[in-house]
């Protein structure tokens, strides 16, 4: 298929693999912070192509995985209200809350609808004027503009039964936290689609403040291998910088329209990240002129605090400190059918990718 096959060409892949082997002269450890990268790396069998001394570890790149249990608990609480319709991306439906999942709520009668875009959620609000339609907004800079545009559309049409329960987050503060707490790393494979929105210059603080190389990568096997080669060359030169491998989608300044939409609709708030705790100014909540669309203000619900399963090491996995194989629950108790932690649920989660593509190998 055009624009796909070229990037999966076996000869090109083998050429990159051999250039990587030639260039590598020590151990290297790179972190990817995009769930799409995690899934692609395992789907294409990239680790099986790399020499042992190059390790790829997964960071907090899966939005579902870094979302706290309290978010699911709130959504479950909303789903129990008489006049509420919950609209959500499919991934969230299975994520375990403290006592239930949205999928279980739906099977027992709650009105929960899987949507493919936030605009579909707005359609549900238009066609159900007697109900309150809550959209579960989740994702980084990639999906936040979509939610922002939908909220603006709702405001323009004076739709007063549409609300957003937001778990939207921005990526750089989490990368800053990882770099700052001294996880042993040689560089970041930076998220291609986040960077398409934010621009690659968003990551400049990593080489400048933390001496870490950054390459913004695409999602095909040749993209990922090329990015790894570029990172190795940066490390070897001892000159970390931000470089774009994914030039067909990313520029230094990003998508200005999308960025303006984000800053118009959302305000930056402190946000809870699973595995990291609260990171200041890392969450996006509808604010300013759009505050009435914030579900938490408009329809308050109370939930009880529940501790997460202590055996589950999602937190360490999300910080790149452990692999899924180190978890006592992995594949034995925790599986995609009976997930204990969110990393097993989302198709972008590290545990899910390991389970699907790498289990027992």
Q: Which residues bind other proteins (CB under 8 A)?
A: 1, 4, 8-10, 13-14, 17, 42-49, 94, 103-104, 107-108, 221, 335-337, 347, 355-361
Q: How far is the CB of 195 from other proteins (least distance, A)?
A: 21
For residue 180, count other CB atoms closer than 10 A to its CB. Answer: 10
Q: How far is the CB of 43 from other proteins (least distance, A)?
A: 7
CB 173 within 8 A of CB 198: no
Q: How far is CA 200 from CA 30, 138, 193, 252, 343, in A?
A: 18, 22, 10, 4, 27
CB 171 within 8 A of CB 191: yes
> Which one, 47 or 287, has the nearer CB to other proteins?
47
For residues 216-226, one letter each, b for 16 or more C-beta atoms within 10 angstroms of the residue's C-beta and e for the rest, the string is bbbbbbbbbbb
Residue 54, strand partner residues: 28
> Which one, 116 or 305, has the nearer CB to other proteins?
116
User: 50-55: which pairs have CB atoms within 8 A and are 24 or more residues apart?
Assistant: 50/17, 50/20, 50/228, 51/20, 51/21, 51/24, 53/24, 53/26, 53/27, 53/28, 54/20, 54/24, 54/27, 54/28, 54/30, 54/228, 54/232, 55/27, 55/28, 55/29, 55/30
> Which one, 146 or 336, has the nearer CB to other proteins?
336
> Which one, 91 or 295, has the nearer CB to other proteins?
91
CA dist 73 and 133 (Å) reads 17
Q: How far is the CB of 350 from other proteins (least distance, A)?
A: 15
Q: How far is the CB of 246 from other proteins (least distance, A)?
A: 17
Q: How far is the CB of 20 from other proteins (least distance, A)?
A: 13
> Which one, 2 or 310, has the nearer CB to other proteins?
2
Q: How far is CA 324 from CA 9, 19, 81, in A?
A: 30, 29, 37
> Which one, 4 or 307, has the nearer CB to other proteins?
4
Q: How far is the CB of 225 from other proteins (least distance, A)?
A: 9
Q: How far is the CB of 172 from other proteins (least distance, A)?
A: 26
> Which one, 76 or 170, has the nearer CB to other proteins?
76
């Amino acid at each position: 298929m055009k624009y796909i096959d070229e990037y999966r060409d076996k000869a090109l892949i083998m050429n990159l693999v051999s250039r990587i082997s030639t260039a590598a002269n020590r151990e290297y450890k790179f972190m990817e912070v995009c769930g799409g990268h995690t899934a692609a790396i395992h789907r294409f069998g990239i680790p099986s192509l790399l020499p042992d001394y190059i390790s790829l570890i997964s960071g907090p790149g899966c939005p579902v995985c870094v979302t706290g249990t309290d978010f699911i608990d709130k959504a479950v609480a909303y789903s129990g209200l008489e006049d509420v319709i919950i609209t959500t991306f499919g991934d969230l439906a299975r994520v375990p809350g403290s006592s239930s999942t949205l999928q279980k709520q739906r099977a027992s009668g709650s009105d929960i609808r899987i949507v493919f875009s936030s605009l579909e959620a707005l359609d549900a609000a238009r066609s159900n004027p007697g109900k309150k339609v809550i959209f579960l907004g989740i994702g980084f800079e990639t999906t936040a503009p979509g939610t922002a545009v939908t909220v603006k559309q709702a405001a323009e049409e004076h739709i007063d039964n549409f609300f957003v329960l937001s778990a939207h987050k921005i990526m750089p503060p989490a990368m800053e936290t990882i770099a700052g707490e001294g996880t042993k790393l040689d560089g970041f494979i930076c998220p291609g689609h986040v960077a398409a929105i934010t621009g690659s210059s968003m990551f400049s603080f990593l080489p400048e403040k933390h001496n870490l190389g950054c390459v913004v990568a695409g999602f095909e096997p040749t993209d990922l291998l090329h990015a790894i080669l570029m990172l190795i060359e940066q490390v070897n030169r001892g000159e970390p910088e931000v470089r774009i491998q994914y030039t067909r989608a990313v520029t230094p300044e990003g998508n200005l329209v999308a960025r303006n939409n984000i800053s118009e609709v959302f305000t930056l708030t402190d946000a809870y990240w699973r595995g990291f705790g609260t990171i200041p100014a890392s969450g996006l909540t509808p604010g300013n002129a759009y505050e009435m669309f914030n579900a938490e203000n408009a329809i308050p619900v109370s939930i009880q605090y529940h501790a997460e399963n202590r055996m589950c090491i999602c937190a360490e996995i999300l910080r790149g400190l452990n692999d899924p194989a180190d978890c006592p629950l992995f594949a034995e108790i925790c599986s995609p059918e009976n997930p204990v932690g969110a990393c097993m649920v989302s198709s972008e989660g590290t545990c899910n990718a390991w389970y699907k593509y790498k289990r027992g190998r």
